[in-house]
């Protein structure tokens, strides 16, 4: 299957989030996220980091 020229074998693409800090560096990567509760997980990371 291919949507938007992204090849996927299982019928859907994985959901990933990448947190970029103010200097443009990758601060954290979340792979195969579960949308339920993910926003809180990201907010907790940002609030508890030195970003």
Tens digit of each residue's pLDDT (9 = 90 or more) over 7-39: 666 766 778 999 999 999 999 999 989 889 999
Mean pLDDT score, 36-48 = 94
Q: Whole-angstrom Cα distance, residue 30 to residue 42?
A: 9
Q: Whole-angstrom Cα distance, residue 37 to residue 51?
A: 21
Q: Which domain holds residue 30?
A: 2-48
The predicted pLDDT at position 2 comes to: 53
Give yes or no for residue 4 having a pLDDT over 80: no
pTM of the model: 0.68
Number of domains in the chain: 1
């Amino acid at each position: 299957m291919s949507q938007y020229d992204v090849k996927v074998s299982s019928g859907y693409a994985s959901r990933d989030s990448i947190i970029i800090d103010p200097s443009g560096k990758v601060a954290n990567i979340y792979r195969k996220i579960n949308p339920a509760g993910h926003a809180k997980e990201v907010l907790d990371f940002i609030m508890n980091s030195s970003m």
